[in-house]
Structure 1
């Protein structure tokens, strides 16, 4: 199965899922209408796409609900401007559902978080349209560029030293 989450900078959220039994994580773009967007255009807010990860998983190993646990534990669901230092539409949060069951699970989680926090959750819940893999240099960035990745995590505010 596949799941699609926009969690801000796709470099920063990719490795999180690799440790939770997800078969593969692909960085890419989703949510917009432009065909085959580029990183430069998405980052410049020209496409209507968000930086998104495509998760391939086996439901018997990890459930969609567990993927949502991981998602909400690694984003700021109340920031409607983006995530951490990355601001702009392409860095805003979204869950792209493919089935009514996924929509219901995600909507329930969003409602529960709002009730618990007393704040409006800034996560778009949208039907999945398409996914375009990002350029190769963005795939597994944390493995290819470990020092730059560590610096990105710290400078973004996602990790404190």
Structure 2
């Protein structure tokens, strides 16, 4: 086999793999406070292909971080391979990385845009989300689980001159680690979930 044929075959296989990968992917949209942290938490989960930070849940079009995002949640859009990780596993991972009892925000971040939520795209996702929430309610009968289950709307990725928010934990590891520690996120998660935490 000459080099040209080998290169052509190799490129074709990569293209096929790319299309196959995309065809087998599904999406989940979740809000759990700071999207830097949510992006970090979910990109480490096996079977997750990509995690994008953005806004959803509000009526304002094209919300921005430094501008108007009233009514929107800071959220992440998770693209995953359902052959490697299920939506149920995505939900299980979500609960272990939020404080489901905080009605004012998440950890040190307070305000409506930092509230937790599960955004469902169809009846199947809603059923699994409701079941997962009821499991948390049953686990903590003395506390109120405030995380709502809401219909998926338009997801607006952070972009333009605010795109530095994407992959912030990778591009600014020292600042990100300091922020996460100072915010008390992991200590609170350990307090709630004990040894089940993913950190």
- Which is greater in Rg? 2
Which residue of structure 1 aligns with residue 112 of structure 2? 89
From 164, 171, 176, give the equivalent of 1:149.
176
Which residue of structure 1 aligns with residue 92 of structure 2? 69
From 60, 66, 71, give the equivalent of 1:40.
66
**Residue deviations 1:72-98, cap 9 Å, x none?**
011111111110000001000110000
Q: Cα distance, 1:6 vs. partner?
A: 0.3
Q: Normalising by the residue count of structure 1, what TM-score does the alignment of the two structures yield?
A: 0.94
Q: Normalising by the residue count of structure 2, what TM-score does the alignment of the two structures yield?
A: 0.76
**RMSD of equivalent CA atoms:** 1.1
Which residue of structure 1 aligns with residue 81 of structure 2? 58
Indicate whether 1:159 and 2:186 are aligned. Answer: yes
Could you tell me how far apart the structure 2 residues matched to 1:37 and 1:140 are? 19
Could you tell me how far apart the structure 1 residues matched to 2:75 and 2:64 are? 13
Question: Could you tell me whether the CA contact under 8 Å between 1:41 and 1:47 is conserved in 2?
Answer: no
Matches within 5 A, 1:133-144: 133-135=157-159, 136-144=163-171
Could you tell me how far apart the structure 2 residues matched to 1:101 and 1:116 are? 23
More helix by share: 2
Which residue of structure 1 aligns with residue 191 of structure 2? none
Could you tell me how far apart the structure 2 residues matched to 1:41 and 1:3 are? 25
Q: Which has the higher contact order (CA 8 A, sep 6+)?
A: 1
**Residue deviations 1:53-83, cap 9 Å, x none?**
0000111111000001110011111111110
Q: Cα distance, 1:41 vs. partner?
A: 3.4
Extract structure 1 runs of 4+ deviating beyond 6 A.
none
Matches within 5 A, 1:110-149: 110-118=133-141, 119-135=143-159, 136-149=163-176
Could you tell me how far apart the structure 2 residues matched to 1:134 and 1:155 are? 24
* Number of positions where the alignment pairs a residue of Structure 1 with one of Structure 2: 157
Indicate whether 1:7 and 2:26 are aligned. Answer: no
Provide structure 2 residue ranges, at least 5 long, that are not aligned to the other structure.
Answer: 1-25, 188-199
Q: Cα distance, 1:143 vs. partner?
A: 0.8
